[in-house]
A = this chain, B = another copy of it.
Amino acid sequence: MKKLKRSGRLVDMTYYLLQHPHEVISLTHFSERYQSAKSSISEDLVIIKEIFEDEGYGTLLTISGASGGVKFIPRIDYAQAEVFMRELIDQLAVPERILPGGYLYMMDLLGSPRFIQQVGQVFASVLANKRIDAVMTVATKGIPLAYAVAQYLDVPVSIVRRDHLVTEGSMVSINYVSGSSKRIQTMTLARRSLAPNSRVFIVDDFMKAGGTIRGMMDLLDEFQAELVGIGVLVESVGVEERLVDEYMSITRLSEVNVKERKITVEPGNVLDLLKTITLEEEK
């Protein structure tokens, strides 16, 4: 790369940091990349950090020591998350979403990469100071959410399936009880698809009684993996017996009145969690 002035460096460094979230990048890397003194690079990083923090894009952490450098932690701030959630609640409450049986049509939202990215950013912000090795979800609708979170955390995705595919090698299967229908079902994960002892965040689009998520938690045991957190886009309230205790939700669906065509949606607990997050200490 040719020698760059500050203006060019700022553009390139911003691009580079956004492409490499949660990765420690040494000052030497930037210094060699731009043929510039480390002192200039440090000044550049101060400018970038200030804009990122002022605008709520995230922060730059300085990692000291021999393997030190700078690390971009993408984070959406509370104010932005609140705006996003208010808009989402308005969008979810549109009566045209109501399907027979009281289900809600959500594929317009789940099919929008920009929407999905925002949800991923909210979850990743709450998880910013946790060590996470993988994001797990179950096919199909959780998949885009899982990739969005995983992209911001820079970790791989493990996709649990309800069928058994021949093209993934040896699989681990468990039986679980679907919380709402009480039926026994099977879910499988390819043996190679999750490293043993991984620290895992589970994500899904919708949670009612939590049977599917409970199933994924049981699968984690089979992989000697550890649960770090659970996130759902929409939780359905008014469930008699919830199979999952701790989780974060973006929104809470409290009522779908098919007859009066009325949907009642409230904010989930994720905003409160976002308030309590500090980045002072890295685990």
Contact = CB atoms under 8 A, between A and B. Distances in A.
Interface in A30-59: 47-48, 50-52, 54-55, 57
A144 interface: yes
A225 to B, nearest CB: 14
Interface of A is mostly: helix
Given A169-B99, A169-B105, A190-B107, A113 B157 contact: yes
How many protomers of this protein does the assembly include?
A: 2
Interface string A83-127: 000000000000000011101110110011110110000000000
A264 interface: no
Interface residues of A, number: 56
A176 interface: no
A116 B156 CA distance: 11
Given A114-B151, A117-B151, 11 more contacts: A7-B10, A8-B50, A11-B48, A12-B55, A15-B55, A103-B166, A105-B168, A107-B193, A112-B156, A113-B151, A144-B157
Interface of A: 1-2, 4, 6-8, 10-12, 14-15, 18, 47-48, 50-52, 54-55, 57, 99-101, 103-105, 107-108, 111-114, 116-117, 139-140, 143-144, 147-148, 150-151, 154-159, 161, 166-169, 190, 192-193
